[in-house]
Amino acid sequence: MTGTLLFVVVPYLCLAIFIGGHIWRYRYDKFGWTTRSSQLYERRLLRIGSPLFHFGILLVAVGHIGGLLIPESWTEAAGISEDAYHAVAVGLGTIAGIATLGGAAILIYRRRTVGPVFSATTINDKIMYVLLIGTILLGLGTTVLGNLTGHPHDYRLTVSPWFRSIFYLQPDTGLIEAAPIGFRLHALAAFVLFAFWPFSRLVHVFSAPLGYLTRPYIVYRSRDARLGSRAPRRGWDRVP
């Protein structure tokens, strides 16, 4: 019953909140769909921490998508050996994880030490940071510890098939229960983060300024007809 609750009920509940929460947030809180940027308050630390965190977390996301959704048999069929895949995954994953944590540390330090930024920090932000950093630490720590001890776990034989089985609507708890506890905690933390996602500033991940590609030009009109010494170009005549 415990395995069913943790690795069947919790994932489906969190995914339902993730999807339904985003729909609700978009329909009823469009003006709150924002990062609540604090760039106006401080830029020096932000210029370092923000790119480091965002590029790192992007690489982490790409690695997880590939590792969880692409079966091991597919990479073997493509001629990629398990040893080669493991070396690349661990190497890039460790670099991405360290970059993400480093960037997050700078951003948290900035948020704590810069007065206006600290004043703009909400309880929601603090919960988000705890969930996000905790999930990353569990994943990175489990991976690094397993490789340092010489007993790395092949998550593509346990965690990945279990994750895919959730979307097949045939969840197999035996697979995830065969994984080390670090991987199980990492998976649970990730689903809790997904449930909290729609109610935090993380919604900006699903935002893209596509409207800028089709919106009309902004026309600036001068009140002084004598302004300027050159004749306007065709199509740019001043409007009286």
Torsion from C-alpha of 97, 98, 104, 109, nearest 10 degrees: 160
Q: Is 64 annotated as a binding residue?
A: yes
Do the Cβ atoms of 226 and 46 come closer than 8 Å? no
Q: Is 54 annotated as a binding residue?
A: yes
- Locate 88 and state its tokens: 């690349």
Q: Is 86 annotated as a binding residue?
A: no
Q: Is 186 annotated as a binding residue?
A: yes
Would residue 36 be called left, alpha or beta, if left means φ above 0 and alpha means ψ between -120 and 50 degrees?
A: left
Please give the angle made by the CA atoms of 83, 136 and 171, to the nearest 5 degrees: 70
Q: How far apart are CA 152 and CA 202, in angstroms?
A: 32
Q: How far apart are CA 80 and CA 204, in angstroms?
A: 35
**Binding site as annotated, residues:** 54, 64, 186, 204
- For the annotated binding site for heme b, the residues are 54, 64, 186, 204
